[in-house]
Structure 1
Amino acid sequence: MDEMTRRAFYARNDRIVAAIIQRAQKQCPGSLALIGVFGSFLTGAVHEKSDLDLLIVVNDERGSKALSQCFIMDGIGFDLYCTPWNALEADAKYTHPHLLKLMNSKILYCGDESYQQRLQALRDEARQRMAGALSWSVYHAAQNYLSSALKALGALTLLEDPASCRYQSVFLIHALEDALCMLNQTYYQLGTKKRSEELASFPRLPADFMNVHRRAVEADTLSEIKESSTRLARIVNAYFEDIKAGLARPAPTAGDLRGSYEEMFSNWRNKMRRAAKENDLYLSLTSAAAFQACLLEFSELFDLPSFDMMSRFESKDLIKSAEAFDAVLDAYRGEYRKAGLTVQQYTGIDDFEQQYNP
């Protein structure tokens, strides 16, 4: 792009920003808080069809209705979407890696100095959440993207139409990219065109990830799409398991575990026994799996042993399965005691009334 064209583009952008400010003053005074620019016009990576990426922060719904607009000018699409403060506050919690608008916008207009300070506080909050050792909250946010990718993989394996399969594959690839970006405690700072370059710079990546990623992108036939997508998801999933194994989990307190033993007892113990008595495989299997899910949740959150119910499940001997349930529940009760808890137990209604309302 020659210098004259570049200057014309920047002058056009200035006029767009000025028009937004003028419209706000006329139609929704007091609603417009900030206008910032990010993307190619901030980094200088401008080309003939670059659109203008603006952060338009509004204080109320009036501003969103009055200022939001999508249009095409000189063959370039523009989308002037407004961002309320609560959206930026959600971004600052760092539950997704798309924070460029929040973190990198250069402020062009500020309705009041307090708005700039408020934005800076949100940026500081996001940086703090991304700093330091990998936390469980960030890991779980990253894991949510991995779960979305695995869901796409499930759909992909059932499809026989190449176009639909390719669509699911692209969704899977993007979800895995987002999962790894979160796992690296950062956010995307380059455009989509440079996504591979940005991914390659992450310190936390599965072995051979970039090669497998490239093959998934280049896959053409139905079998190639399925095979490459499956391999990409498999190596990222295994990498997440390795990272999880090294994460320090807090020791559970009495408050963390209180009531959990009694709830597990209430939800599934008698179901397992009834299933054994009536030879109801479905009831026994689903109860054991629900019990296992509950145990896994506690084991992921806190420094607890790994309780394995499903490896002890006997589909052809439901009595043994019920006995295994009791053994695993008793092992969990041991952790209950370590946390300083005793099982809340009454001998009858009279005992309950006396102890519940002494």
Structure 2
Amino acid sequence: MKDRNETIIEAIIKMADALCPDSLALIGVYGSVATGDEHEKSDLDLLILIHDEKGQVLADGFIIDDVDIGYDLYCTSWDMLEKDAQCDHAHLSKLLDSKIVYCKDKSALERLDEIRRKAAELLASDRRYEKADNAYSDAKKLLAEVYLAQSLSKARSYAGAAIELIENAVMLHNGQYFRKGTKRALDELKQLGLPFDLETSILAVIQAETVEQIRARLTEVFVLTEGYLQVPKKKELPSAENLRGTYEEIYSNWKNKMAEAAGRDDVYSSFMNLLSLQWMFYEIAECIAVDGFEIMDKFNPKNLEENVDVFHQALNKYLAEYEKVGIRPKHFESITEFAEDYNKEISEEI
């Protein structure tokens, strides 16, 4: 096996010298051959790093009949390595672990080391949580596709893609990456010491026999990982500065609209107005440590006057948050009184 691999590497170098002498930067070995996990049918994973498109002549795919092994010689550009270093996925072994077996110019090694440094720094920083969140968000989109799928093949395919993204998210969340390929992915996840059995849950999805089972078991994987992958955000304490104006905004946007919707028996408007208020509460609570406001569970499509009451109760509860920080909404008897108060500053300036 070693002789066979050396023959392939030597053939690549020989072709580069003949057809594109300035294109080949270096060759690295990664995957099972580099980790010692290879078997008699292992192929050869190579980082064939090229400077320019001329180097694509080195790419090839072939099968060696006497050993029945297929090979894919794939060329990688510097731009592709830079993109990998952004850690949008956790399959970074080619970038970070390749053992360099050929290098034409020392400057290529220096450039590779710099890209590796950037990737390692990102994995060690809080930016990894953003990358994990992005992967997890993409997985959620695939969960929707699983629920929309009408065939077992489609459901399995989307579920498998979702699982891969969840695996990536979990690794990135921990500042880690997959070093040993797909066949060792579950082993590497287990080594993280997660507070739940992700391996069993993933295998349950893979072993599901119906679309309904796939949906249910994949949902269980999301339930397991959702809380784990959330990074608590540091919130500001409530203050006059960060709350001022929000009560008035709520009052202005939806108070009269809620009553109007009830008066017209407009269930859609009643729902959407209350929903808008709910999302404003979520946005405020995401950044500011205010009491939680959950109101959509109280929405009643059969009695819209009850929804008006729900709105008023939420508004009064939020007023208490205002008063805690020493501010009260501005009230005026008339528009004239408002205008006089509003223009006070002009008078004071003059």
Structure 1 residues 210 and 278, CA gap change in structure 2 (3 angstroms): closer
1:6 deviation in Å?
3.0
Find 2:10's aligned residue among 5, 14, 26: 14
Q: Tell me whether 1:141 sits opposite 2:124 in the alignment.
A: no
Distance in 2 of aligned mates of 1:111 and 1:156: 48
Distance in 2 of aligned mates of 1:334 and 1:79: 68
Normalising by structure 1, report the TM-score. Answer: 0.72
Query: What is residue 217 of structure 1 aligned with on the other side?
Result: 206
Residue-by-residue CA offset, 1:195-222 (whole Å, 9 max, x unaligned): 222121112342x322222222222234
Distance in 2 of aligned mates of 1:36 and 1:298: 50
Q: Tell me whether 1:76 sits opposite 2:70 in the alignment.
A: yes
Where do 1:49-198 residues align within 5 Å?
49-59=41-51, 62-63=52-53, 66-67=56-57, 69-74=59-64, 76-85=70-79, 87-131=80-124, 135=126, 137-198=127-188
1:118 deviation in Å?
2.8
Distance in 1 of aligned mates of 2:225 and 2:218: 11
SS in 1 for 2:20: helix
Find 2:194's aligned residue among 204, 213, 216: 204
Query: What is residue 232 of structure 1 aligned with on the other side?
Result: 221
1:189 deviation in Å?
0.4
Find 1:304's aligned residue among 279, 283, 289: 289
Residue-by-residue CA offset, 1:92-129 (whole Å, 9 max, x unaligned): 33332121121111223445433322322232232233
1:237 deviation in Å?
2.2
**1:88 is aligned with what amino acid?**
L
SS in 1 for 2:27: strand
Distance in 2 of aligned mates of 1:265 and 1:113: 65
RMSD: 4.2
Residue-by-residue CA offset, 1:232-277 (whole Å, 9 max, x unaligned): 222222433xx53xx46264899xx98x976997799425533532
Structure 1 residues 205 and 110, CA gap change in structure 2 (3 angstroms): farther
Normalising by structure 2, report the TM-score. Answer: 0.73
Residue-by-residue CA offset, 1:59-103 (whole Å, 9 max, x unaligned): 4xx427744734224251414132233x43333333321211211
Find 2:271's aligned residue among 285, 289, 309: 285
Contact 1:288 1:325 in 2 (8 A): no
Q: Tell me whether 1:41 sits opposite 2:24 in the alignment.
A: no
**1:219 is aligned with what amino acid?**
A
Query: What is residue 273 of structure 1 aligned with on the other side?
Result: 256
Contact 1:296 1:306 in 2 (8 A): no
SS in 2 for 1:225: helix
Distance in 1 of aligned mates of 2:57 and 2:238: 50
Structure 1 residues 327 and 90, CA gap change in structure 2 (3 angstroms): farther
> Which has the higher mean CA deviation after the structures are superposed, 325-334 or 274-283?
325-334
Structure 1 residues 184 and 277, CA gap change in structure 2 (3 angstroms): same
Contact 2:30 2:46 in 1 (8 A): yes
Stretches of structure 1 that go unaligned for 5 or more consecutive residues are none
Distance in 2 of aligned mates of 1:78 and 1:37: 13
1:170 deviation in Å?
1.4
Stretches of structure 2 that go unaligned for 5 or more consecutive residues are 331-337
Contact 1:33 1:58 in 2 (8 A): yes
Distance in 2 of aligned mates of 1:20 and 1:253: 65
- Which structure is larger by alpha-carbon Rg, 1 or 2? 2
SS in 2 for 1:78: strand
**1:78 is aligned with what amino acid?**
D
Contact 1:97 1:186 in 2 (8 A): yes
Query: What is residue 333 of structure 2 aligned with on the other side?
Result: none
SS in 2 for 1:203: coil
Q: How many residues are treated as equivalent by the alignment? A: 328
Q: Give the share of equivalent positions with the same residue, in percent.
A: 24
Distance in 2 of aligned mates of 1:14 and 1:124: 29
1:141 deviation in Å?
2.4
